[in-house]
């Protein structure tokens, strides 16, 4: 079951597989205007003994087709626990997606005193009526208080991209894109022994999202961080400026990948039940683009040796 954590920081790492999103078939009704309490109806009931099934169907099930949410009732307990006590327990599920399947919304349990009952069989209808009425009443209160904040009932996702994270104060190890122009002093790691390359930059990007739910709408402010790590970036001695140009373009390609990620999200409408997987899908798509482009860049320029090609790439990713 997908769990939603309000105000949770999400640091995305490239570990989510494609099949999380591929083939997803999403069922979503036309909701009332955002901010209004959506309607619901009970469409299925399971777990009741055949004797009481018809009574529950009569009390709970609706034949209307206009409700915003279709709910299922799973009866977990419906029986006399003793001569004087009747136990009823049920779970209510919402089913909005054929892949995710039913999601638990609400659990209800109650006991009824049954003094004076002479036999079980004579009172199934009465207990079904009491149980269903009690369930309906309590769930209606729960719905009124929780429809606008429960993650399984989100009606819309609204994404807002905050400005990229660029702190004013420089960090000893992390240089964020846009803080200052890259220079050789940012390469502090020791060169790899025997490496045929003149320098190497370690650059990366990630995003931070802090979701919140208000009136059935999930607001999703996202901030991207593009950075290089000084302690993982190195250079050899007495290198020309064009060698620095080569490493700077690697950094620019990383920034471009972050922008592609944002552009993809801005062009899509994230689905309420799949927004986490879809965010990570497009993050990984941009990450793959970054890795393949970095490799192509090094191949075309022969790691900065081909001056003409280097100039082309410098102009392409200024």
Q: Would you call 163 exposed, middle or buried from its count of C-beta atoms within 10 A (0-12, 13-18, 19+)?
A: exposed
pLDDT band at 64 (very low <50, low <70, confident <90, very high): low
What is residue 12's three-state secondary structure? coil
**What is the mean predicted confidence (pLDDT) over 288-309?**
96
Q: DSSP class of residue 64?
A: -
Burial annotation 212-243 (CB, 10 A radius, 16+ → b, else e): ebeebbbebebebbbbbbbeebbbeeebeeeb
Structure tokens at 94: 């919402």
Beta bridge partners of 234: 189, 200
* Distances, alpha carbon 106 to alpha carbons 6, 44, 61, 135, 160, in Å: 19, 15, 17, 10, 31
pLDDT computed for residue 61 by the predictor: 84
Helix (H) or strand (E) segment spanning residue 89: strand 85-94
Burial of 290 (0-12, 13-18, 19+ CB in 10 A): buried
> If you average pLDDT over each of 35-44, 55-64, 118-127, 245-254, which comes out highest?
245-254
Convert the pLDDT of each residue in 139-194 to its tens digit: 999 999 999 999 999 999 999 999 999 999 999 999 999 999 999 999 999 998 88
**Per-residue pLDDT reduced to its tens digit, 197-243:** 999 999 999 999 999 999 999 999 999 999 999 999 999 998 988 89
H-assigned helices in the chain: 50-60, 124-146, 241-267, 275-301, 307-316
Asked which of 3-17, 91-105, 232-246 is least confident by mean pLDDT, the reply is: 3-17
Residue 125's region, left for phi above 0, alpha for psi from -120 to 50, else beta, is: alpha
What integer pLDDT is reported at residue 35 of this predicted model?
A: 59
100 close to 109: Cβ distance less than 8 angstroms: no
Arithmetic mean of pLDDT over the chain: 85
Identify the pLDDT of residue 29: 34
* Angle, in degrees to the nearest 10, between helices 275-301 and 241-267: 150
Q: Which of 7-21, 45-59, 80-94, 183-197 has the lowest mean pLDDT?
A: 7-21
In degrees, to the nearest 5, what angle opens at C-alpha 204 toward C-alphas 301 and 24? 105
pLDDT above 90 for 60 = no
Written as six digits, the tokens of 21 are 């999103």
Angle between helices 241-267 and 307-316 (to 10 degrees): 40
Positive or negative: CA dihedral 167, 169, 174, 177: positive
Report residue 137: phi and psi, to 5°: -65, -45
Domains, in order of start, for the chain: 39-146 (3.30.160), 156-316 (no CATH)
**pLDDT, greater one: 300 or 84:** 300
CA-CA distance, 26 to 3, in Å (whole number)? Answer: 18
Cβ neighbours, 10 Å, residue 106:
18
Tell me whether strands 103-113 and 85-94 are parallel, antiparallel or unpaired.
Answer: antiparallel
pLDDT recorded at residue 15 = 28
Residue 178's region, left for phi above 0, alpha for psi from -120 to 50, else beta, is: left
Residue 34 confidence (pLDDT) above 90: no
- DSSP labels for 198-217? SEE--EEEEEEE--EEETTE
Query: Contact, 158 vs 220, CB < 8 A?
Result: yes
Q: What is the mean pLDDT of residues 292-312?
A: 95
Give the pLDDT band of residue 18 (cuts 50, 70, 90).
Answer: very low
Please check the confidence at residue 9 and state whether its pLDDT lies above 50. no
Residue 7 pLDDT exceeds 90? no
């Amino acid at each position: 079951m997908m769990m939603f954590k309000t105000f949770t920081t999400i640091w995305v790492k490239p570990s989510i597989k494609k099949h999380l999103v591929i083939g997803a078939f999403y069922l979503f009704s036309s909701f009332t205007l955002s901010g209004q309490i959506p309607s619901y109806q009970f469409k299925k009931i399971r777990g009741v003994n055949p004797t009481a099934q018809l009574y529950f169907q009569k009390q709970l099930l609706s034949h209307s087709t206009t409700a915003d949410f279709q709910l299922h009732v799973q009866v977990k307990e419906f029986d006399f626990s003793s001569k004087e006590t009747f136990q009823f327990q049920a779970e209510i599920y919402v089913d909005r997606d054929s892949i995710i399947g039913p999601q638990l919304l609400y659990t209800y349990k109650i006991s009824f005193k049954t003094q004076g009952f002479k036999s079980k069989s004579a009172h199934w209808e009465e207990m079904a009526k009491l149980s269903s009425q009690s369930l309906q009443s309590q769930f209606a209160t729960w719905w009124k208080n929780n429809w606008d904040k429960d993650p399984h009932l989100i009606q819309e996702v609204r994404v807002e991209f905050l400005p990229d994270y660029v702190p004013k104060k420089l960090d000893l190890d992390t240089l964020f894109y846009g803080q200052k122009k890259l220079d050789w002093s940012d390469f502090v790691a020791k060169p790899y022994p025997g490496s045929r390359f003149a320098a190497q930059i370690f650059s990366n990007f990630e995003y931070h999202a802090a979701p919140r739910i208000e009136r059935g709408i999930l607001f999703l402010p996202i901030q991207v961080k593009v950075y290089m790590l000084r302690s993982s970036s190195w250079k050899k001695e007495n290198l020309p400026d064009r060698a620095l140009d080569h490493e700077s373009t690697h950094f620019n390609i990383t920034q471009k990948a972050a922008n592609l990620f944002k552009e993809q999200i801005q062009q899509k409408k994230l689905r309420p039940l799949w927004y986490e997987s879809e965010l990570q899908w497009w993050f990984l798509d941009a990450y793959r683009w970054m890795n393949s482009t970095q490799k192509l860049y090094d191949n075309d320029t022969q790691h900065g040796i081909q001056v003409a090609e280097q100039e082309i790439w410098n102009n392409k990713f200024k």
